[in-house]
Structure 1
Amino acid sequence: MIDTKAFRSLSYGLYLVTAKAGEKQAGCVVNTFAQVTSQPPQASIAINKENFTTGVILEAGRFEVSVLAQDAPMELIGRFGFHTSADTDKFSDTQIALDEADIPYVAEHTVAHFRVNVKQTLDLGTHIYIMGEVEESSVLSKDEPMTYAYYHQVKGGKTPPKASSYEGPAEPGAPVAADGAASAADGAPKFAWRCTVCGHIEYVDELPDDFTCPICGVGKEMFELIEL
């Protein structure tokens, strides 16, 4: 028997992974970045095959990792975690810097950054394990790094479906598309509210003052009114 709740006792960080191949640049959120060895310095990530960022990493053969600080806003996390780089320029409203290989990395609300040269990959089914040698790293601030537990418990963040730790629709707060679609089709509400961070839509005329997005955890103030 496998009790999936046991996985919740494992400790993770929260990281922004970025890459650039030619004119393509991409980024996403992962919680799987980890040091593998110290001599030579090696690190790894596990990343969903369907992520646009994954293809850019494999094409480039290098990637950057920014370690998020506890004060990182949900807007930044939502921009990289709940949108795809295939149709969204995640870097346009983000403070970035270029490493020595001209790969962009997120330089705001981050504790440190690492550039990793890909050495090995392993097909894990839904994900790809990517291991490589750290070519460059530096400390960017003295802030406390954000843990995955802090993201959930303090910031109220949710787990994107493509994340390694996603447990499926049974996760509390996960959206059920059929409910929203049915509400809209019934024509009961005249308006809906769209989260400007992750794009989630609530089909109600009014949002409660204490409402938080069930996907990315931001408050009512981050929703925009749309007419049905």
Structure 2
Amino acid sequence: MDIQTFFKMTYGLYVVGSVHEGRVNAQIADAIMQISNDPVTIAVSLNRENLTNEFVKKSKKISVNILPEDLDMSVVNHFGMQSGRAVDKFATVDYETGVTGAPILKDNSLGYFEGEVIDVIDVYTHTIFVVRPVEAKLFSDKAPISYNEYRERKARAIREQKATGGRYKCAICGYIYDEQAEGKKFDELPEDYECPVCHAPKRVFEKI
């Protein structure tokens, strides 16, 4: 079976949040769709291993923030490449809590909806949450980013860096730092150096 077939299906890219016992958390997700119109219901699929999934199951509260086409890729790194069990993802993020208590992004968002979970279906590695929205608001009429566009942007960045014959590779997004092209040894970079594509810290780079 050619799994590339499934990449031709249309998905969005979202920051999905929840709250439990006063603590908020969020993650990147793409498998979200409206499944009925009157009343409106939304299906949200989250990996069962993720902390956000745990929060949603316990609180039955959820927020979905819609990401823009001109998205800063560091948002994906921040919410998608680290666990809320290890870091407080909202310690450095400008946000507010909605009527459900779930987190609403104040930047890098076209709008959001938040709601209450009315059904839960576990499917292999993921949980499908059926959500009844209780609030929704648009911030911008810009186009949303699709999951395919995100993958293409990531692939372009990797191809551009590979052309320079890189030496150190970002383990998060695949960006390659080429010492010859940059004119500076990787070891000489400051410790607060970040990947220019996804803003991952210097420590995640691997020598190749």
Give the alignment's TM-score, normalised by structure 2.
0.77
Note the alpha carbon deviations across 1:184-227, whole angstroms, 9 max, x for none.
xxxxxxx97767xx49898x994854xxxxxxx8549865268x
Equivalent residue for 2:110?
111
1:40 and 1:220 map into 2 onto residues whose CA distance is 39
Residues 151 and 157 in structure 1, CA contact (< 8 A), matched pair in contact too: no
Report runs of 4+ in structure 1 exceeding 6 Å deviation.
Answer: 191-195, 199-202
Deviations 1:147-199 (A, max 9, x none): 111111134489xxxxxxxxxxxxx99xxxxxxxxxxxxxxxxx97767xx49
1:110 alignment partner, SS class: coil
Identity over aligned pairs, percent: 19
The CA distance in 2 between the partners of 1:194 and 1:139, in whole Å, is 35
Hey, what's the Cα distance between the residues in 1 that align with 2:44 and 2:63?
A: 11
Letter in 2 for 1:60: S
Alignment of 1:129-140 (within 5 A): 129-140=128-139
Match of 1:224 among 169, 194, 202: 202
Which digits, 9 at most, give the CA deviation of each residue in 1:12-55, with x for residues without a partner? 00000000111322110000111111111100111110001100
Contact persistence 1:193–1:223 (CA under 8 A): no
- Alignment deviations for residues 63-107 of structure 1 (CA, whole Å, 9 cap, x no partner): 000000112211111000000011111112222122122321222
- The equivalent of 2:48 in structure 1 is 49
| 1:17 match: secondary structure | strand
Distance 1:3 1:220, change over 3 A: closer
C-alpha change, 1:157 and 1:62, in structure 2 (3 Å) is farther
Q: Determine helix, strand or coil for the equivalent of 1:12.
A: coil
> What letter is aligned with 1:121?
V
Contact kept? 1:29, 1:77, Cα under 8 Å: yes
Aligned ranges for residues 64-213 of structure 1 at < 5 Å?
Answer: 64-156=63-155, 198=172, 206=179, 209=182
Are the counterparts in 2 of residues 207 and 220 from structure 1 also a CA contact under 8 Å? no
SS in 1 for 2:110: strand
Instruction: Answer yes or no: is the 8 Å Cα contact 2:66–2:144 preserved in 1.
Output: yes
Once residues 94 and 146 of structure 2 are traced to their aligned partners in structure 1, the CA distance between those partners, rounded to angstroms, is: 22
Q: Deviations over 1:89-132 (max 9, x none)?
A: 11122221221223212221111101121011111111111112
User: Amino acid of the residue matched to residue 81 of structure 1?
Assistant: G
Superposition RMSD in Å: 3.3
Helix, strand or coil: the match of 1:135? Answer: strand
| Higher helix proportion | 2
Matched residue type, 2:139? L
The equivalent of 1:24 in structure 2 is: 23
CA distance in 2, matches of 1:113, 1:220: 23
Report if aligned partners of 2:44, 2:131 keep a CA contact under 8 Å in 1.
Answer: no
Partner SS state of residue 122, structure 1: strand
C-alpha distance in 1, partners of 2:27/2:45? 12
How many pairs were matched up?
Answer: 187
The AA in structure 1 aligned to 2:19 is: K
- Equivalent AA in structure 2 for residue 145 of structure 1: P
Tell me which moved more, 99-108 or 142-151: 99-108
Q: Which blocks of at least 5 consecutive residues in structure 2 are unaligned?
A: 160-166, 183-194
Distance 1:122 1:107 in 2: 31
Output the CA distance in 1 between the equivalents of 2:13 and 2:27. 11
